[in-house]
Amino acid sequence: MKKHLHLLYAVWMCAALALAIETGFADSTSVPGSASLPLQLEGNAIYLDVSTALFIGAISLNYEHTWEHIGCRVGFGAGGGASEIEVGDGYGGMAMLNVFPLDDHKLEIGIGASVMWVSRFGSRFASEPRRTQVYPAGTICYRIQPSDGGFFLRLGLSYVYYLGTPFTVSIGIAF
């Protein structure tokens, strides 16, 4: 149960931030004389993400909602692979908070968590049954994306889903 709390907390924080903005938190007319906050609704994106390195890999389908310099990403994916001492696979959900430190939104830095249902087997684990486990998730990517939406390509480094896969490529649509 505790393992699910990290993902639940991340999703709740993203939803609370989205609700605050949607209901006028960033509206300068809600408080007389106040200046508008830098967070303004930017848009949404849906994309397929593929990560790999040698004998490990992951694939996921993601939804992302972005504001001016902040984004919230949730996805469902699967990963698996082999190393010298184990072979395993897993699937589950992921939530990540992304920051876009540059004005052109090309650089993306994110941190979050994956909650996976995993199975490991091999010499060290002797074929364990599937169990739920929480893994950290992080990404540093560069986006090739038009400012008015449309199709985009994302390239970078990431650690998501099970064994962690360092090289990632994403293709999707922003709207």
CB 155 within 8 A of CB 168: yes
- For residues 102 and 108, give the distance between their C-alpha atoms in angstroms, rounded to a whole number: 9
Q: Spell out the domains of the chain, with CATH numbers in brackets.
A: 2-27+39-174 (2.40.160)
Q: Would the pTM of this model clear 0.85, i.e. be above it?
A: no
Using one digit for the tens of pLDDT, what is the confidence trace for 36-68?
333 334 689 999 999 888 777 889 999 999 988
Identify the pLDDT of residue 8: 46
Angle value at C-alpha 83, between 95 and 118, nearest 5 degrees: 40
